[in-house]
Structures are given as C-alpha cells and as structure tokens.
Amino acid sequence: MRVLLTTWGSRGDVEPLVALAIELRELGAEAVVCAPPDEEFVKLLEQAGVPLVPLGPTVHSVVAGPKPPTGEDALKLAPALVAARFETLSAAAEKGCDAILATGLLPAGARDVAEKLGIPYVYACFHTFGLPSRHFAPGVRPGTPSPEGETDNRVLWRQDAERVDALYGGALNSHRAAIGLPPVDNVRDHVFTGSPWLAADPVLCPSEGMTDLDLVPTGAWIRPDDRPLPDDLEEFLEAGEPPVYVGFGSMAAYAPKDIARVAIESARGLGRRILLARGWAGLASIDDAGDCFVVGEVNQQALFRRVAAVVHHGGAGTTTTASRAGAPQVVVPRIADQPFWAGRVAELGIGVAHQDPLPTVESLTAALTTALSPETGARAKAVADTIRTDGATVAAKLLVSGKDG
C-alpha cells in the first residue's frame, strides 16, 4: 500500500505527518510526504527516512518577513497553493497511490486529485477550532468581514465559507474543470468532508459536541524522538536549577516584540535561569551572563522534562509536548488556534493563558509565578499521565484498513 500525506504549514503541521509515515512503515505501507521545502522540514524527513516531495514555496519565505503576511498576500498565496497541489500531488499520486491524507493550511486541491484518480481522501486537523460549530465563532480569515454585531454562529460560519470561496474557489474550480471535474460550491466543506480526522489528544482537545461534523478522533500524532541533547545544553542544564524555557517556534514576525528581554528580566526577577529557543523569530540573549542559554532545534520531548516551565505561543505540537512532559506552561497566543490552546492550558490548571499578546516584565512575572507554583506543577504532572501516545498508530491502522473510524 502507498499513501500520500500532504501539508503546507509550520513544523507543527509537518512533524505529525512524519509520525504517521513512520507508523505506516511499521505496518508495511509506504508513505510519501508532500510538504513545503524548508530546510528544517527536509532534514526532519531525512532523519526519519521518509521521502519528501516539495510542495509550493517555503513557509519561511512567506511568514518570516519583517511584518506578518497581509490579506493581499493571502489572496496571492491561496491560488498558488491550489495550483501547486494539483501539479505536485497529481504527479506523486500517479506513480501508484492508494489514498491521500491532507492537513495544514486549507488543502484545497488534494481531495480533487484523489477524486480524479478514484482513490480515498482523508482530511485531518489538529484541533476543532477551525471546524464549523454552534458553540463558537470562526477565527479571522482574509476577506470581507462579518457585519459588526452579528452573533449567530451559524450565520458567522456561513460567512466564513464565503470567505474561503473568495480565496480558493476560482482557482479550485478552474483546475477541476481542466481535469474534467464539475465545480464545487462550498470549498471549505468540500475540503473538510463530513468526517474529518482529529489528530489531537482527547484531554487537551475534547471533541464531543464541538462540531456538527462527524469527527474521527485518533489522538495526537507524536513522533518518537530519542535524540540526545547537545553536550553544551546538557552542561547548562546540569549547572543549576531547571531553567524557564521560552520559544515561539515558527512565529517569526508574529513573536511578541522584545520577548527575549522581557522573558529574561522576568525569569531573573524570580531567581530563575532561562533557556531561549532561537526559532524563526531569532530570539537571542541580551547580555553574556551565564544564566541564559540559547538553543536551536533540539529534542523538545527530552528537554521539556528538565525545565521549570515552558513559555510558548500555543501551537498544537508544543502544547502537547509540554503537557506530555508535565511541564507547567505560560501560553502567549498570537494567531489562529493558539488562543484555544492557551484556554485549554488554563482550564486544565496546567499553566497560564497570557491572552495579552504583548507581555510586559510585570505581566509575564505574574504568569510565571502562577505557573511555577507547587499547585500548578502537581497538576501538570497529573495531566501528563493522561496524554495518549498512540494516535499515529491508530491513524495508520485506519488508513491501512481502509476504514474511516
């Protein structure tokens, strides 16, 4: 069996597919990943021995400018990604493919390639935040905003679908026509299908009643990471009390202004050492003091078990990894699903949601004081024992068996 896995997005969108590809291989199936050709993702797939087919532009080239992407940028990117999926996925799947699974930034085009080839298609998501629901409103999306004062969630989600059509509809239906397929009139629901897979931990992301769609929960797709930590990082960790970790992953231009300085001063004020993750935002120390250490890409699964707390942006992957490690968290959400994860961390009592996107030394110190309390630490360790680690195995078995849950 050969399965095509595809995404376009940050590391948090790519790494779960690596986990799934590894589990598929364990079951005797072949997996190929079509993903953006960022150097970080190329290395990640090479380390796992999973073939990569480059899809679209690098994510870094889109999000790592001095300012966040604009609505105009989104209007250009959406049709470009549709075209890339039709071209890249068609070529990859025609070499012999039994199913296509897509995730990441709305993967318009993937289902259509599967439809043309007559093979199964699965849409997977890492949270319920983006799925139509009676219980909450849609997130912000480029396009005509909903009328001010509109509160009916069903109306708001219908208007969200209209914005998706404006972004993707023209390009999608043009490419469908070119391969002899009829047009679709609701791109979002076409991509999602009626039964999307939810690759999220059920404790961190409960799904019961959260959407009108028939979700297939699998658990989070976690890639086992047994890499040792670098020697210099080990030396730093062994030289004193567990530090506070601060990282904003792929946020680049979205990272809070002066967050490195704010975090360092906050940690020092509490008598704590600090560990900065450089990331795409390029976090760096403000001086040469020995209480601060800067790391690149490392094994977070191992590292988070040895820190006092994790300050991060609230990506699905980072939240799950920190929760699984039993590390108290301070989540400073910036975009998309991040406020959802911040809220869940607070609701579970395993950390603090710093909903103000611009932390000050005072506000971050207050949040860290709560996160570093014995009560939060005990709760974080208790929740860690409930986090499932078999999600990728569950999903791989569903794909191989041809079942949808």
Q: What is the pLDDT of residues 66-87, one digit of tens each?
A: 788 888 989 999 999 999 999 9
- The string of pLDDT tens digits covering residues 201-215 is 999 999 988 898 999
What are the residue boundaries of the structural domains of the chain, listed by start?
2-221+389-401, 231-384
What CATH number labels 2-221+389-401? Answer: 3.40.50.2000
Q: Which two tokens stand for residue 89?
A: 């996925």
- The string of pLDDT tens digits covering residues 128-160 is 989 999 989 998 898 999 999 999 999 999 999
Lowest mean pLDDT among 35-49, 240-254, 282-296: 240-254
Q: What is the pLDDT of residue 220?
A: 98
Query: Can you give the pTM of this predicted structure?
Result: 0.95
Q: What is the pLDDT of residue 357?
A: 85
Q: Is the pLDDT of residue 125 over 90?
A: yes
- The string of pLDDT tens digits covering residues 310-329 is 999 999 999 999 999 999 99
- Tell me whether residue 151 is exposed, middle or buried, using C-beta atoms within 10 angstroms of its C-beta: 0 to 12, 13 to 18, 19 or more: exposed
Q: Which of 165, 154, 182, 136 is nearest to 75 (CA)?
A: 165
- The string of pLDDT tens digits covering residues 353-383 is 998 889 999 999 999 999 999 999 999 999 9
Q: What is the pLDDT of residue 79?
A: 97
Superfamily of domain 231-384: Glycogen Phosphorylase B; (3.40.50.2000)
Q: Is the pLDDT of residue 119 over 90?
A: yes
Q: Which two tokens stand for residue 173?
A: 């239906």
Lowest mean pLDDT among 36-50, 96-110, 251-265: 251-265
Q: Which of 188, 97, 205 is nearest to 139 (CA)?
A: 188
When the pLDDT of each residue in the chain is averaged and rounded to a whole number, the result is 95
Question: What gap in Å lies between CA 197 and CA 180, rounded to an integer?
Answer: 28
Q: Is the pLDDT of residue 404 over 80?
A: no
Residue % of the chain over a pLDDT of 90: 87
Question: What gap in Å lies between CA 369 and CA 171, rounded to an integer?
Answer: 50
Q: What is the pLDDT of residue 137?
A: 92
Q: Is the pLDDT of residue 10 over 80?
A: yes
Q: What is the pLDDT of residue 405?
A: 46
- Tell me whether residue 181 is exposed, middle or buried, using C-beta atoms within 10 angstroms of its C-beta: 0 to 12, 13 to 18, 19 or more: middle
Q: Which of 316, 300, 351, 358 is nearest to 334 (CA)?
A: 358
Average pLDDT over residues 187-205: 97
Q: Is the pLDDT of residue 256 over 90?
A: no
